[in-house]
Amino acid sequence: MPTAPARFPRIALIGRHGEPGIALPLARLTRFLAGRGHSVALDAKTAKTAATEGAAVLGDDALAAGTDLAIVLGGDGTMLSVARMLAPRGVPLIGVNLGRLGFLTDIPLAELESTLERMLDGHFVEERRALLAATVLRRDGTRSDALALNEVVVNRGGLGSMIECVIEIDGRFVYAMRADGVIVATPTGSTAYALSAGGPIIAPEVPALALVPVAPHALTHRPIAIPDSATIAIGVASGRDAAVHCDGHAHFALSEGDRVSLARAPYAARFLHPEHHDYFAMLRLKLHWSETPERLNPGIAD
């Protein structure tokens, strides 16, 4: 049995739940890590899909408390969920891409062992990504809390009518707006829904948030970048069937007079990347910058 390595002795593997092909890469990764002397554990939900010989099974609380590193196999949605769970404990994350774009899960499965070998020996770069702490304050005095790594969205419901939002930053009135909704995005979420709504891409090291209207009635309402030290309040002045969504995982109905307060969380998600990771090269690859239609689809005729 190899001596337990000084760096990351306890590693958790978390796979995309319900992924039919997850068992083989999990078994492959478990053998690789055990061969290096790491102790390996699976989260309980992953183990239900693909129990792996040689790996312990831990619940969420035990996993967060007893892990030096988490390796996530899946897409960005899986990574978002794991980051929200482990960020309060400061557990670093490595992402293996089994999804499509993979802005957060950047190691391809074909290069798994060769890339991890160097990273586990200390050849990596670390990024710390801010999270948003959202608090829903209702007229009746009740409240709900949730975390978001990508974005918090206040929007209209299924009835089809616009909502009117009142936006405040650090207690100062900014504007009232009729729109389909408004997005508050972190740098991580600036390449997600906010980008589709016309918001800016914010590099991870920039301490900013993007405030992005969704289909505003007045075209003069434009995206704004604000310091991530600010507290943002979004009040629902009018509109039926409104709701707030945090990373698509926590959803709360909103009524007229309810408010959503947003502030940077007191901890950050820690992402480890291969040593030559380049954020802008990743954007070029994922967003197909400078690509012609012919290069994107070689089958297109001249």
How far apart are the C-alpha atoms of 225 and 203, rounded to whole Å? Answer: 12
Residue 296's pLDDT is 63
Cα 71 to Cα 76, 83, 105, 229: the distances in Å are: 13, 11, 10, 30
Give yes or no: residues 142 and 227 share one domain: yes
Q: Which stretches does DSSP call E strand in the chain?
A: 10-15, 39-43, 56-58, 69-74, 92-97, 107-108, 124-137, 143-148, 151-155, 163-169, 172-179, 181-185, 208-214, 224-227, 232-238, 242-246, 250-254, 259-274
How far apart are the C-alpha atoms of 47 and 49, rounded to whole Å? Answer: 5
The total domain count for the chain is: 2
Give yes or no: residues 83 and 138 share one domain: no
> Over 60: is that where the pLDDT of 301 sits?
no
Instruction: Identify the domain containing residue 220 by its residue range.
Output: 131-266
The pLDDT mean for the chain works out to 91
How far apart are the C-alpha atoms of 198 and 175, rounded to whole Å? Answer: 19
In this prediction, residues 238-266 reach a mean pLDDT of 94
Answer whether residue 286 is part of any domain: no
How does pLDDT run across 66-98, given as a tens digit for each residue? 999 999 999 999 999 999 999 999 999 999 998
CA nearest 271: which of 49, 23, 76?
Answer: 76
> Over 80: is that where the pLDDT of 172 sits?
yes
Backbone angle region of 253, left / alpha / beta, with phi > 0 → left and psi within -120 to 50 → alpha = beta
Q: Which residues pair with 10 in a beta bridge?
A: 39
Give yes or no: residues 174 and 70 share one domain: no
Give yes or no: residues 87 and 214 share one domain: no
> Over 70: is that where the pLDDT of 6 sits?
no
Q: Which residues pair with 167 in a beta bridge?
A: 175, 234
Give yes or no: residues 97 and 168 share one domain: no
> Over 70: is that where the pLDDT of 298 sits?
no
Give yes or no: residues 39 and 162 share one domain: no
In this prediction, residues 271-282 reach a mean pLDDT of 94
Q: What percent of the chain has pLDDT over 70?
A: 94
Residue 177's pLDDT is 95
Answer whether residue 41 is part of any domain: yes
How does pLDDT run across 148-160, given as a tens digit for each residue? 999 999 999 877 7
Residue 18's pLDDT is 73
How does pLDDT run across 92-133, given as a tens digit for each residue? 999 999 877 788 998 998 899 999 999 999 999 999 999 999
Query: CATH number for the domain including 94?
Result: 3.40.50.10330
Choose between 299 and 287: higher pLDDT: 287
CA angle 95, 100, 101 (to 5 degrees): 75
> Over 50: is that where the pLDDT of 299 sits?
yes
Answer whether residue 77 is part of any domain: yes
Give yes or no: residues 155 and 94 share one domain: no
How far apart are the C-alpha atoms of 104 and 87, rounded to whole Å? Answer: 15
Residue 118's pLDDT is 96
Give yes or no: residues 50 and 151 share one domain: no
Whether 106 and 79 have beta carbons less than 8 Å apart is answered as: no
Residue 158's pLDDT is 74
Q: What percent of the chain has pLDDT over 90?
A: 74
> Over 60: is that where the pLDDT of 300 sits?
no
Residue 49's pLDDT is 78
Secondary-structure percent of the chain, ordered helix, strand, coil, rounded to 5: 25, 40, 35
DSSP string computed for 118-176: HHHTT-EEEEEEEEEEEEEE-TTS-EEEEEESSEEEEE--TT---EEEEEEETTEEEEE
76, 106, 247, 258: the active-site residue: 76
How far apart are the C-alpha atoms of 169 and 180, rounded to whole Å? Answer: 20
How does pLDDT run across 17-62, given as a tens digit for each residue? 777 788 889 999 999 999 999 999 999 888 887 767 888 999 988 9
At residue 292 the predicted structure's pLDDT band, cuts being 50, 70 and 90, is low
Answer whether residue 295 is part of any domain: no
Name 223's Cβ contacts closer than 8 Å, sequence gap at least 6: 194, 197, 198, 199, 200, 210, 211, 212, 213
Residue 137's pLDDT is 97
Give yes or no: residues 111 and 166 share one domain: no
Give yes or no: residues 151 and 44 share one domain: no
Residue 245's pLDDT is 97
At residue 239 the predicted structure's pLDDT band, cuts being 50, 70 and 90, is confident
Structure tokens at 169: 């930053």
pTM of the predicted model as reported, rounded to 2 decimal places: 0.91
Told to judge if 76 belongs to the known catalytic residues of this protein, a careful annotator would answer yes
Whether 220 and 156 have beta carbons less than 8 Å apart is answered as: no
Give yes or no: residues 150 and 192 share one domain: yes
Name 115's Cβ contacts closer than 8 Å, sequence gap at least 6: 107, 274
Answer whether residue 23 is part of any domain: yes
CA nearest 151: which of 223, 90, 99, 258?
Answer: 223
Query: CATH number for the domain including 153?
Result: 2.60.200.30
> Over 50: is that where the pLDDT of 198 sits?
yes
Could you give the 3-state DSSP secondary structure of residue 222? coil
The amino acid at residue 221 is H
Answer whether residue 51 is part of any domain: yes
Residue 302's pLDDT is 47
